[in-house]
Structure 1
Amino acid sequence: MQLTPPSGTFTSDDVLNQFLDYLIDSGVEMYDHQEEAVLELFAGSNVILNTPTGSGKSLVALALHYQSLCAGKTSYYTVPIKALANEKFLSLCATFGPDKVGMITGDATVNPDAPIICCTAEIVSNLALREGSEAKVDDVIMDEFHYYSDHERGVAWQLPLLTLPQSRFLLMSATIGDTAFFQKEITTLTKKETVLVQSDQRPVPLEFVYSEIPLTEQVTELVEKNKAPVYLVHFAQRACAESAQALLSSNFCSKEEKHQIAEALQEANFRSPYGKEVSKLLRHGIGIHHAGLLPKYRLLVEKLTQQGLLKVVCGTDTLGVGVNVPIRSVLFTQLCKYDGTGTKILSVRDFKQIAGRAGRRGFDDIGYVVAQAPAHVIENIRLEAKAAASAKKKKVVKKKPPEKGFVSWSKETFAKLQTADPEPLVSSFKLRHNLMLNVLSRTNEDGCRELKRLIEASHETEASKKKIRRHARSMFMALVRGKVLTITPPAERGEGENVPKVKLHVDLQDDFTMNQALGLYLIETIPLLDAEAPDYALNVLSLIEAILENPVAVLRAQVNEIKSELINELKAEGMDYDQRMDKLDEVTHPMPGKDFIYDTFNEFNVKHPWIESENIRPKSIAREMFVDYMSFEDYIRKYKLERSEAILLRHLSEGYKVLSQTVPPALKTEELLEAERYLKEHLTSVDSSLIDEWETMKDPDYVRPEDREVAPERERPITQDKKKFARLLHHQIFTAVKYLSADNIAGFMDVFEPSDEWTAARIDEQLDAYYDGRQLIRLDPEARNQKHTHTETLDDTRQLRINQTLCDPDERNDWSLTLLVDLQKSDEKKEPVIHLENLGPVV
């Protein structure tokens, strides 16, 4: 049932009554704190909602969205992570209809002009910085507001409270702590009263248990006692996967339940290297949920859990930020975690956020929170019990705790976390390039003046503000020296005190972004490369990757691969063990062009001292994939990254965004544009789950593009779209060359139409002839240059003849593939139809 505005002319009371009728029809009865918050919102107040996890804060947010929608306004729902934005987006689509709801996360944009927008906090923050009081941001719902204290990202929760006087705010968190400061600041900003609605009332009370039996036994006990679904909370992705694997030895589901899961998975898409493993776990009643999984798998786990089909979900602590995985029991596998600087006992806020997810309103009378004792403690209890039961009195050799990455906890630690108050929220205002550029790019007011006001209004101490002002001056001058900003001469500024004093550099594209702190380094350094050099595009990719965060799992896998190859070589050479170990200690992940990158960065650092807190990180992931024209699946399998697919996808996404939005168009060669298209194709083909779901909501008959059949009479022949067809041909031809280079004759033959003339034996014979005097078939970008592809149109037969030169390291380039492209059949099959005519020396 969808929530729609009242018909005809209506008042605010009519809107409230319509909303209350919707709740009654939905069978929802509000708690006292929900009713109080909704009435305050309809009275026009800002609201700070501080109630336990699972106490229905989303219903209050729904009321504000509805009030805003009926008034013709735009409301924003901000969250800390993309997974939560995806979930809230789909939920609001179901409530209001997909035409009324949009989503913006930086990676994905859907229906951005809708009156209700789900987004990550940075989206509203940047909008507020760019447009300030003129931004069409009428109502802002900040979910998980305790992220205000996050050291790196907390500024995104603070900025709207400094820059949007026209907005009304609903701040929501179970662990917000003292709110007096925020009430005062928001009231001062908006000139509207800010009301605190607070309650300790939980819809489902919690029972706390400290477990001193092994994890697998504890999970089995919870399931057998009807306390499932159970969420196993880990603080590392590897631990999630290991727990899930260990639980496969237990049988949690009946035959009927497994049949129901199989039915639910009939339409599921498991097409990725890790898909088979995910499918196996799900069919066993076990889910897995962490940032290393592709979004489509996380979404599937959430859906199956909501349907009550999964008994156990092994995940990371993302559960604590509101991802809707309805569960009965939360099981902490440990009570310490690495926080970026060291391993520490969980904060009270983290513990309460996660523990509060236990218990499902309307399903459970009680929720269960279980904490495992340290593994070595559990093992020692077993050893002592075994020794006590033995007739032989032996001394027990106790297990020791881990030496690294561990802080011990006890039953008393667990009890303290339950009763202590959350840590106070602390301002984390930071001045970054995107903040400065967004403010200074305002065309309707003096951005310099606004930047000064913003620093002064920030929630920092006076000592901190002084440092920020000094930092701002250094950054401003660096942006001017780098020609990212130009200062408008006083005579050209116009009249008035609040006219713009600066403007963005005119050569930058409209969607220019410098969200990466080292974006300016990139802009300054690319022109130093030789644009005519064969490896120009690859060197630009290296610069782009050097300013991105390190995807640690991928780099670790690269190092492991290099070490495996090296140790075999060293053993074959007869090198002794100690020398081999010394050599292995020197191994790093690939860093092409590192000397140039480090040298230019050091020079950049001298000119821009404010960058001292940043660092450059040379690496080669997107570059390596592009050089070898590898598919996403190829790369995952090569480095055994099945458990970290989303990490690779995220890195490619970040690289694509920098290449498409930060690198100026004037610096993009045809080969660099090819790299941009290559990355985009990976992003759109690997996981389109969110877009597919939204389209299905809009149209129940929606069919995914890859499954769609277009009526012949309406379809434009594929060969008429010359650019697209040329791109498809190019990709297919180099797929064939890649297979040939790898001596994969079966894969090579699959690219072409079947032929009695070109058998595997004949191709193998020709390859032997090629390698008689030639080392390999090159796949680098120079080998893919269009100059090595010669196309001839055979008009009478609607065919193309293509001669593709096979490039070798010595640049003899005296062998080629001769191919015939059947245009008629290509139109019929909607893809290039290619025949192999010859593989041999150039005639």
Structure 2
Amino acid sequence: MSAATASKRLDKLEPSAEDSGAPGPEELYAAFESWTQDQGLTLYPAQQDAILELADGQHVIMSTPTGSGKSLVATAAHFFALSRGQRSVYTAPIKALVSEKFFSLVEIFGAENVGMVTGDSSVNASAPIICCTAEILANEALRDGRDADVGPVIMDEFHFYADPQRGWAWQVPLLELTGRAEPGSPGRGSTGSRAQFLLMSATLGDTSRFETRLSEGTGRDVVTVSSAERPVPLSFEYSTTALQTKLEELVTTHQAPVYVVHFSQREAAERAVGLASLNVVSKEERELIRLKLETFRFAKGFGKTLNRLLRAGIGVHHAGMLPKYRRLVEQLSQQGLLKVICGTDTLGVGINVPIRTVLLTALSKYDGTRTRQLNAREFHQIAGRAGRAGFDTAGTVVVQAPEHVIENEQAISKARAKHGDDEKKVSQAIRSAGKKKPREGFVSWSEKTFERIITATPEPMVSRMRVSYSMVLHLLERPEDPIRAMRRMILAADETPARKAQLQRQALQILRELLTAGVLERLDSPDEDGRTVDLTLDLQDNFALNQPLAPFAMAAVELLDTESESYALDVISVIESILETPHQITGAQMKQLKSEKIGELKAEGVDYVERMRILDELTPPQPLAELLTQQFEVYRGSAPWVSDHALQPKSVVRDMLERAFGFTDMVNHYQIARSEGVLLRYLSDAYKALRQTVPENLLTEELQDLLEWLGEVVRQTDSSLLEEWERLKAGDDPEKLAELAAMEADISALDHPDRVTANARAFKVMVRNAMFLRAELFAQEKEAKLAELDAEQGWDADRWGEALDAYFNVYEDLYTDAQSRGPSLMRIDVAPANTPDPARRWWRAVQVLDDPQSHHDWGIHAWIDLSASDETGAPVVVMDRVGELG
């Protein structure tokens, strides 16, 4: 529904007899149904039921299978709210889904009517339709309660109510946007709540307690739409055929695209590589894929692997990939060009990959604590992705038997094929082959497990309510006594009496700490709103939405010495300490640290027991950890609410800088190709936090250089993460939003960063890093590593070895500390004469080597090919010589 169409529909609506100021339910339903017909859509019975109830003002719980059109029902809720002059809110568990829905609604209702708030960015936040993460709505509900300016609330993927970490954010709106007022409670009227809920998920299970909560709390009826009939029916199969053979069968019988589900990113990537030899696409499809990928830039490492797989019609999809790679896989899948996609179970959270067949490689998974069988909700959430509405008449769900079972079945079949009915020889052949056994700790499953889980209903959702400092502070903004409000919310929560008592004790402890710290003060008598306590300070807007520890970081940065040589790096360490830890990266750092340390200890002759003791005490690099921890304890004294969050000192961005790494260098050094998306998101978060947190008066020139470098590294690796954020921050210009929406559907727009040399400031930092990396390896006498960088330019290990001999014949050592990498020892000529190729653009770079006598008369001399750098997104260094300065 375009903005013009929506406006036209609204203009045609006539007020109902009951409400002279707004259209009636029948008119609303008729207008929306007319629009769906204009779009060539026919409403399913379940959709009709839900939309009619929404038009009539009732709450709706939509527990229908994946592919049954819940998104269209949500669109109807927004349409009805817009026509009634109400503000509607859409929430989802992940930012990517919120962003996707934002662009979709912009296209339907127009940019002026749709806004988005995710913590990272806010655009058109006063719009009548808002897309946000669940935590944003929860905080609004805490601040405003039933007085919140909220009409229809669409909570997508509502099964996240049972998520251990985030479930509280799905429960709070149900408690605080509904609920009867206590007698005599100021600020809370006795009329019903304005909020109207649409709760949606394919795997809700028993919804009776939600029906009771909403009905009793708002005085509105609640209708649960739980049609078990899928628009695209599913068939189920338990397979004892080898996986590769099974996939070939599914492709040849036209049951592709097939999504192969794994429960680790490593398994998904390795499986895809193992399937690369499958012949699943036609010659014509190969050529079409080639044309689609013609202008797409794949980075080294996993990018080259993915490029080869995609050209064979095989995709990979998991959270550790670069966003541009995931979106590329999604778009090629939508165009029918990928026949097999290997991925993880995260596909169950609203990711847009149309598939016909879901093949699960296992019915057990490691959940972070133990290996266990899948529960019914997990199985149905994944299986429900099979079958594409509008494309398929049926979908297929295949579960593979355990690998050892399949191998044993194959051995039996092979023996019978060879020996026929001679059971003695068959048994002998099977014994000779040896019965395959499961690996240690393996949790098995069987066909009976499969049959049981197919018919099992999703488990009841368990409440995950909690209390925190930020909850109390948000409640203080409401015109009523926050102590009573907190008590009422806890007593209304979906928890056991014992758990409610525990939550009340926690809330009282938080209040005492806030009073002790002087953040709250007791009032001699209740004020006009009934408050018995009040804040003694003004909190910044949205203090708990984005980086809750940002105020601490700002205070810590102000304590640093701007004249210190390490100031810029120390600021980065402060900011890194407030970011969520990327455990895949810090784990890789720890693995390499232990590997290097154990080599040193063995060389020193340290015995095994002592080696193990030393290794157990190692931690990943944590610059400023002691200082930051001390300051954090001091800061908590005046701001107790930071106790909701843990300080996490670490070194990822700083590690890159100290090692003079680019993105690819970092990935290769720590062997994290399968987690490069995790690294990129962390670098993006660090860049945003630096931009948003460090005051301008504390931005030194060196820090500004590093900030420009970091932004350009992210942009050149995958421009989508920052482009969307920066454009959204720029405002709600309809043309910009339309451009972003168009990019979402355009493969050619997935990978189009500006020329890396266009940002000269950032590019100079990249050149400095590239040159200093060679100086570091030179100091360590690692000619093989240097050859990896420059062998294509004719600088193999022998040539670097000769250069090392020449330098160390003159000097005994080479320094590579912070002073060694300073700007005084890096020379860049941006307009050199006598370049290698006048037809190309060049810079001249010399990394002066920091010798022990500080003569500084030797250097690494190189040309920087700007034209090639723009093609690759990183400096292309063409080595010239190592020798005395001219």
TM-score calculated relative to the size of structure 1: 0.80
> Are positions 1:192 and 2:220 aligned together?
yes
What's the counterpart of residue 55 of structure 1?
A: 68
What's the counterpart of residue 260 of structure 1?
A: 288
What's the counterpart of residue 82 of structure 1?
A: 95
Which of 184, 205, 209 is equivalent to 2:233?
205
With over 3 angstroms needed to count, the CA separation of the structure-2 counterparts of 1:430 and 1:804, relative to structure 1, is farther
With over 3 angstroms needed to count, the CA separation of the structure-2 counterparts of 1:279 and 1:100, relative to structure 1, is farther
Which of 501, 507, 530 is equivalent to 1:497?
530
Shift of 1:251: 1.0
Moved more, 539-548 or 699-708: 699-708
In the alignment, the residues of structure 2 paired with residue 661 and residue 319 of structure 1 have an alpha-carbon distance, to the nearest angstrom, of 32
What's the counterpart of residue 5 of structure 1?
A: 6
Any conservation in 1 of the 2:719–2:752 contact (CA below 8 Å)? no
> Are positions 1:22 and 2:35 aligned together?
yes
Shift of 1:467: 1.4
Q: Look up the equivalent residue of 1:619 and give its one-letter code.
A: K
1:575-614 alignment, distance < 5 Å: 588-593=619-624
What's the counterpart of residue 234 of structure 1?
A: 262
5+ unaligned residues in a row in structure 2: which ranges?
15-22, 178-192, 420-424, 725-735, 787-798, 832-843, 862-873
With over 3 angstroms needed to count, the CA separation of the structure-2 counterparts of 1:254 and 1:353, relative to structure 1, is same
What's the counterpart of residue 496 of structure 2?
A: 461
Any conservation in 2 of the 1:434–1:515 contact (CA below 8 Å)? no
Moved more, 105-114 or 26-35: 105-114
What's the counterpart of residue 275 of structure 1?
A: 303
Moved more, 241-250 or 101-110: 101-110
What's the counterpart of residue 424 of structure 1?
A: 460
With over 3 angstroms needed to count, the CA separation of the structure-2 counterparts of 1:446 and 1:606, relative to structure 1, is closer
In the alignment, the residues of structure 1 paired with residue 196 and residue 310 of structure 2 have an alpha-carbon distance, to the nearest angstrom, of 43
1:442-521 alignment, distance < 5 Å: 442=477, 447-479=482-514, 486-487=519-520, 490=523, 495-498=528-531, 501-504=534-537, 510=541, 512-513=543-544
Shift of 1:727: 6.3
What's the counterpart of residue 402 of structure 1?
A: 439
Shift of 1:57: 1.1
1:153-168 alignment, distance < 5 Å: 153-164=166-177, 165-168=193-196
In the alignment, the residues of structure 2 paired with residue 605 and residue 344 of structure 1 have an alpha-carbon distance, to the nearest angstrom, of 40
With over 3 angstroms needed to count, the CA separation of the structure-2 counterparts of 1:586 and 1:772, relative to structure 1, is farther
In the alignment, the residues of structure 1 paired with residue 710 and residue 145 of structure 2 have an alpha-carbon distance, to the nearest angstrom, of 34
In the alignment, the residues of structure 2 paired with residue 616 and residue 472 of structure 1 have an alpha-carbon distance, to the nearest angstrom, of 22
In the alignment, the residues of structure 2 paired with residue 626 and residue 699 of structure 1 have an alpha-carbon distance, to the nearest angstrom, of 36
Q: Look up the equivalent residue of 2:451 and give its one-letter code.
A: A
In the alignment, the residues of structure 1 paired with residue 448 and residue 274 of structure 2 have an alpha-carbon distance, to the nearest angstrom, of 29
1:663-700 Cα shifts (integer Å, max 9, x gaps): 78898877666665554444444333375695535679
Moved more, 2-11 or 732-741: 732-741
What's the counterpart of residue 824 of structure 1?
A: none
Which of 142, 150, 163 is equivalent to 1:129?
142
With over 3 angstroms needed to count, the CA separation of the structure-2 counterparts of 1:339 and 1:564, relative to structure 1, is closer
Shift of 1:207: 1.1
With over 3 angstroms needed to count, the CA separation of the structure-2 counterparts of 1:613 and 1:116, relative to structure 1, is closer
Q: Look up the equivalent residue of 2:474 and give its one-letter code.
A: N
In the alignment, the residues of structure 2 paired with residue 17 and residue 460 of structure 1 have an alpha-carbon distance, to the nearest angstrom, of 42
Q: Look up the equivalent residue of 1:326 and give its one-letter code.
A: P
Moved more, 533-542 or 410-419: 533-542
1:442-483 Cα shifts (integer Å, max 9, x gaps): 27665555444433333223322221222123334445666x
What's the counterpart of residue 561 of structure 1?
A: 592
What's the counterpart of residue 312 of structure 1?
A: 340
In the alignment, the residues of structure 2 paired with residue 616 and residue 143 of structure 1 have an alpha-carbon distance, to the nearest angstrom, of 31
In the alignment, the residues of structure 1 paired with residue 100 and residue 128 of structure 2 have an alpha-carbon distance, to the nearest angstrom, of 18
What's the counterpart of residue 117 of structure 1?
A: 130
Shift of 1:334: 0.3
With over 3 angstroms needed to count, the CA separation of the structure-2 counterparts of 1:22 and 1:236, relative to structure 1, is same
1:468-518 Cα shifts (integer Å, max 9, x gaps): 222123334445666xx7235748997542487115566xx6564476787
1:343-354 alignment, distance < 5 Å: 343-354=371-382
Question: What's the RMSD between the two structures over aligned residues?
Answer: 4.8
Shift of 1:199: 1.0
1:330-369 alignment, distance < 5 Å: 330-369=358-397
Moved more, 78-87 or 354-363: 78-87
5+ unaligned residues in a row in structure 1: which ranges?
710-717, 719-723, 749-760, 795-801, 820-830
Moved more, 631-640 or 106-115: 106-115
Between the two proteins, what is the percent identity of the paired residues?
43
Shift of 1:349: 0.8
With over 3 angstroms needed to count, the CA separation of the structure-2 counterparts of 1:550 and 1:155, relative to structure 1, is same
Shift of 1:641: 1.7
With over 3 angstroms needed to count, the CA separation of the structure-2 counterparts of 1:523 and 1:459, relative to structure 1, is farther
1:378-398 Cα shifts (integer Å, max 9, x gaps): 112222333444547242522
What's the counterpart of residue 224 of structure 1?
A: 252
Q: Look up the equivalent residue of 1:82 and give its one-letter code.
A: K
Moved more, 515-524 or 447-456: 515-524
Shift of 1:156: 1.2
1:771-829 Cα shifts (integer Å, max 9, x gaps): 9447445464x66678989999x9xxxxxxx999969497958579999xxxxxxxxxx
Per the alignment, in what secondary structure is the counterpart of residue 370 of structure 1? strand
Per the alignment, in what secondary structure is the counterpart of residue 314 of structure 1? strand
Any conservation in 2 of the 1:15–1:67 contact (CA below 8 Å)? yes
With over 3 angstroms needed to count, the CA separation of the structure-2 counterparts of 1:521 and 1:765, relative to structure 1, is same
What's the counterpart of residue 696 of structure 1?
A: 739
1:747-826 alignment, distance < 5 Å: 772-773=810-811, 775-776=813-814, 778=816, 780=818, 808=850, 812=854
1:170-205 Cα shifts (integer Å, max 9, x gaps): 101122122222122223444433222221111122
1:721-755 Cα shifts (integer Å, max 9, x gaps): xxx8766656655555455555599x99xxxxxxx
In the alignment, the residues of structure 2 paired with residue 201 and residue 129 of structure 1 have an alpha-carbon distance, to the nearest angstrom, of 38
In the alignment, the residues of structure 2 paired with residue 766 and residue 541 of structure 1 have an alpha-carbon distance, to the nearest angstrom, of 34
1:93-112 alignment, distance < 5 Å: 93-98=106-111, 100-107=113-120, 109=122, 112=125
In the alignment, the residues of structure 2 paired with residue 163 and residue 273 of structure 1 have an alpha-carbon distance, to the nearest angstrom, of 49
With over 3 angstroms needed to count, the CA separation of the structure-2 counterparts of 1:111 and 1:219, relative to structure 1, is farther
What's the counterpart of residue 328 of structure 1?
A: 356
Q: Look up the equivalent residue of 1:5 and give its one-letter code.
A: A
In the alignment, the residues of structure 1 paired with residue 493 and residue 696 of structure 2 have an alpha-carbon distance, to the nearest angstrom, of 36
In the alignment, the residues of structure 1 paired with residue 208 and residue 6 of structure 2 have an alpha-carbon distance, to the nearest angstrom, of 35
In the alignment, the residues of structure 1 paired with residue 532 and residue 770 of structure 2 have an alpha-carbon distance, to the nearest angstrom, of 56
Any conservation in 2 of the 1:512–1:662 contact (CA below 8 Å)? no
Per the alignment, in what secondary structure is the counterpart of residue 6 of structure 2? coil
Per the alignment, in what secondary structure is the counterpart of residue 501 of structure 1? strand
1:10-67 Cα shifts (integer Å, max 9, x gaps): 3335543332122112222111111011011111112111112211111111111222
Any conservation in 1 of the 2:373–2:443 contact (CA below 8 Å)? yes
Any conservation in 2 of the 1:804–1:816 contact (CA below 8 Å)? no
Per the alignment, in what secondary structure is the counterpart of residue 279 of structure 2? coil
Moved more, 509-518 or 292-301: 509-518
Per the alignment, in what secondary structure is the counterpart of residue 633 of structure 1? helix
In the alignment, the residues of structure 1 paired with residue 754 and residue 411 of structure 2 have an alpha-carbon distance, to the nearest angstrom, of 62
Q: Look up the equivalent residue of 1:256 and give its one-letter code.
A: E
What's the counterpart of residue 40 of structure 1?
A: 53
With over 3 angstroms needed to count, the CA separation of the structure-2 counterparts of 1:475 and 1:533, relative to structure 1, is farther
Moved more, 241-250 or 455-464: 455-464
In the alignment, the residues of structure 2 paired with residue 382 and residue 790 of structure 1 have an alpha-carbon distance, to the nearest angstrom, of 66
In the alignment, the residues of structure 1 paired with residue 577 and residue 145 of structure 2 have an alpha-carbon distance, to the nearest angstrom, of 33
1:538-557 alignment, distance < 5 Å: 538-539=569-570, 541-542=572-573, 544-546=575-577, 548-557=579-588
Moved more, 631-640 or 286-295: 631-640
Per the alignment, in what secondary structure is the counterpart of residue 287 of structure 1? strand
What's the counterpart of residue 714 of structure 1?
A: none
1:668-683 alignment, distance < 5 Å: 678-683=709-714
